Amino acid sequence: MSMFCFFLFFMIFLVIAALIAVHTDNLLSSVICVGAIGFGGSLMFLFLRAPDIAITQIAVEVLGLIILIRATISRDKTFISGQREFFGIVFSVAVLFAISAVGLKGFEDLPEFGTPAFVAAAETQEIVASEDYIEQSLSRTGAANAVAAVILDWRAYDTLGEATVLFTSILGAVVILRKETRNSPETIK
């Protein structure tokens, strides 16, 4: 129960940081609030017993903050207040309420916090993948870290697809940012 209150405190912190990040007009303070969400989330991953993700999140957050600050610093017109047109706001808020109603209905079927979903599923089904991953990761792959065994042995196709997506997104950013195009007059000459 004490862990539950601890996580609740962290979630309230994250929600407050998100509200400030959405509502402030200054872009730099908004970016800093995103950093607060990221580092708070990293601490929360650590207490949720996921040290792999905590390390990755804290390193990714530093890099993401560098990229975001690079985009917002030394720009003149960053103070853009106000909203989009009225009809769009009404429509999007109505969509948000509909999604919230459906989503909160869906949470009733989930097990209590503290009971993993695979334990709840094991009571009705015979085969649950996560139990095998925990039980056989050391004897069948030799890796003590079950997460490494899952992403690089049992579900390595997932990692291959991830490498492809990362390659494609970086390639897209390079193509967008490069200065000279293939048909520019300098290269034709």
Residues 5-44 that bind other proteins (CB under 8 A): 7-8, 11-12, 14-15, 18-19, 21-22, 27, 30-31, 34, 37-38, 41, 44
Of the candidates 101, 163, 181, 184, which one interacts with other proteins according to CB under 8 A?
A: 163
d(CA 59, CA 119): 32
Residues 113-152 that bind other proteins (CB under 8 A): 113-119, 129-131, 133-135, 137-152
Q: How many residues bind other proteins (CB under 8 A)?
A: 112
The nearest distance, CB 31 to other proteins, in angstroms, is 7
Residues near 160 by beta carbon (within 8 Å), at least 6 away in sequence: none
d(CA 164, CA 45): 26
Nearest CA among 55, 7, 65 for reference residue 33: 65
Query: Residue 99 interacts with other proteins (CB under 8 A)?
Result: yes
The nearest distance, CB 51 to other proteins, in angstroms, is 4
Structure tokens at 62: 């530093």
Q: Which long-range contacts (CB under 8 A, 24 or more apart) does 53-58 make?
A: none
Query: Residue 101 interacts with other proteins (CB under 8 A)?
Result: no
Of the candidates 84, 105, 182, 189, which one interacts with other proteins according to CB under 8 A?
A: 84
Structure tokens at 43: 């601490």
The nearest distance, CB 182 to other proteins, in angstroms, is 17
DSSP 8-state class, residue 115: S
